[in-house]
Amino acid sequence: MRRISYFLAAAAFVSIAAPAAATPPQVPDPYGSDVPDHLLVVARNATGRDATLGQINITVRDLAGNGMAADVVLDFSGAPDLALSAVPQDSRMTIDCAQNQVTILSLSNGVATFTLMGTGTSAPASPPNAVTILANGVLMGSASVAVLDRDGLNGVTPADLSIWAGDFFSGANPPRADLDGDGSVSLADISVLAAAYFSGNDTMSGSPFCP
């Protein structure tokens, strides 16, 4: 009996002294996560941004398919025809004007829901998939970006329709004018502008904008 007691005591000591196995870090899975391929940048009204038209949803999952908290970065450095609003509209969002990046922390279930505001610039049109999306530094995908408030004045107005028409008749098919995200600049995009104009959710611009 004494030998058994010694054995049990030794086993208990080893179990206490042995370090716990380290939990492997969660790694974002680009193939198992939900990342949009089209972003619509909107304006605002007196109560805040137009989350009706502009809501963006990203879900980050790890290699096991579980949702995970992550720093989701949208890099707009490849889209010089867009100037982001410099004022975050969400407590989980930060905006880096110098790097032209937006970062938002996804929840523990992996979901990041946010809205982007901004305006157009005089720079040449950005190509498709100009926005790079990363989670904890892992490339998740890319997205094209379209802009409602093209002149940055008084929200969405007929002046923005005029600027959009210039892109439409140019035949260049720039992503900034593809408001419905179907891959082409067509008369169907006017319905998105009309929805923004008549909704009352885009009566003000999202200024100040990043320089």
Round to whole Å and give the CA distance between 46 and 109.
31
> What letter represents residue 23's amino acid?
T
pLDDT at site 22: 57
Helix or strand (DSSP H, E) at 5: helix 2-17
SS3 of residue 156 by DSSP: coil
Contacts of 188 (CB under 8 A, 6+ apart): 180, 182
Residue 51 CA: distances (Å) to CA of 42, 57, 136: 8, 11, 25
pLDDT digits (tens, 9 = 90+) for 102-133: 999 999 999 999 999 999 999 999 999 999 99
**How many angstroms separate the first and last alpha carbons of the chain?**
80
Place of tokens 């990043």: 210
Query: Where do the domains of the chain lie?
Result: 27-199
Q: pLDDT tens across 155-199, in order?
A: 999 999 999 999 999 999 999 999 999 999 999 999 999 999 999
pLDDT, averaged across the chain? 91
Strand partners, 83: 119
Contact between residue 114 and residue 93 where contact means Cβ atoms under 8 Å apart:
yes
DSSP 47-64: TEE-HHHHEEEEE-BBTT
- pLDDT above 70: percentage of residues in the chain: 89
Q: Once rounded to an integer, what is the mean pLDDT over residues 28-45?
A: 98
Tell me the whole-structure pTM to 2 decimals: 0.87
Q: Report pLDDT for 89.
A: 81
Per-residue model confidence (pLDDT) at position 25: 76
Q: DSSP label at 117?
A: B
pLDDT at 23: 59
At residue 181, φ and ψ (nearest 5 deg) are 70, 25
Identify the weakest region by mean pLDDT among 5-9, 32-36, 81-85, 138-142.
5-9
